[in-house]
Amino acid sequence: MMSLRGTPDGFISQGFPVRNLVMNAFPVVMLDQIVGLPDWANSDYYDIEAKMDDETVAAEKKLTPDQQKEVEYSMKLAILTDRFQLKYHKETRELPIYNLVIAKGGVKIQPTPKGKETGYSMGPGILSGNGISIDSLAESLSGEVRRMIVNKTGLDGEYNIDLNWQPDSMAASAGSANSSSADPPLADLFTALQEQAGLKLEPAKGPVDVYVIDHIEKPSEN
């Protein structure tokens, strides 16, 4: 049973291999961005409970969401460095990506009016909200397609976006379980982007940040 949950002063990770712990310590969206892990990093599972001191918790609450994310990366890296003796360096490599472009027929999303309250939420098969930049959309969907998405639309500003698609992990079971349902099956993300937003993902290659693991070892017992 694997679980990862945040706590008021840190996080608790249970039953994850080291590979996942390493990926959660860097801003990556696909496995190819982590290079050089030993075989045991995929087969040995660990439980981790991390806590920050009260002063750090109070300071983090004053940060923006992006700044808080950087703090989380730093905390996880500190654990890996201290307990797993992690050493790494960063490179830029040419890897498969997706370019986000305007689909044939044009954009179907509407600009968010000035002064309107903004914010959005994302869950399995859904992304909905107001005031969403196309760069933010590309970043949010990169994890869904497990490739870096680069905004090539040329669209500036912020938009109202309401996307619904069939999550990959549910597609097979949903096809059989809902075969008698009156509701039509949801489209995959690629189709949903074109039909609901007028945007398209095109396969390409481009520069991607890659984290090369120079050294990592199994931790000692607590």
Q: What is the spatial distance between Cα 77 and Cα 50, in angstroms, rounded to a whole number?
A: 12
| Tokens found for residue 180 | 């008698």
Higher pLDDT, 103 or 15: 103
Give the confidence band of 77 by pLDDT, cuts at 50, 70, 90.
very high
Check residue 203 and report its DSSP letter. Answer: E
Q: What is the spatial distance between Cα 79 and Cα 68, in angstroms, rounded to a whole number?
A: 17
Residue 183: is its pLDDT beyond 70?
no
Contact 188, 171 (CB under 8 A): yes
Residue 178: is its pLDDT beyond 50?
no
Q: What is the spatial distance between Cα 179 and Cα 194, in angstroms, rounded to a whole number?
A: 24
Phi, psi of 32 (to 5 degrees): -65, -10
Q: What is the spatial distance between Cα 195 and Cα 105, in angstroms, rounded to a whole number?
A: 10
In the chain, where are the structural domains located?
A: 3-85, 95-207
Contact 52, 76 (CB under 8 A): no
Chain mean pLDDT for the chain: 87
Percent of the chain surpassing pLDDT 90: 55
Per DSSP bridges, beta strands 10-17 and 3-7 are: antiparallel
Q: What is the spatial distance between Cα 137 and Cα 145, in angstroms, rounded to a whole number?
A: 12
What are the strands of the beta sheet with 45-51, ordered from one edge? 3-7, 10-17, 45-51
Residue 13: is its pLDDT beyond 90?
no
Most confident range (mean pLDDT) of 6-15, 47-56, 184-193, 199-208 is 199-208
DSSP 179-190: TT-SSPPPPPHH
**Cα 206-149-118 angle, rounded to 5 deg:** 145
Q: What is the spatial distance between Cα 200 and Cα 99, in angstroms, rounded to a whole number?
A: 8
Phi, psi of 196 (to 5 degrees): -100, -25
- What confidence tens digit (pLDDT) does each residue in 89-138 have? 999 999 999 999 999 999 999 999 988 888 888 888 999 999 999 999 99
Lowest mean pLDDT among 86-90, 137-141, 167-171: 167-171
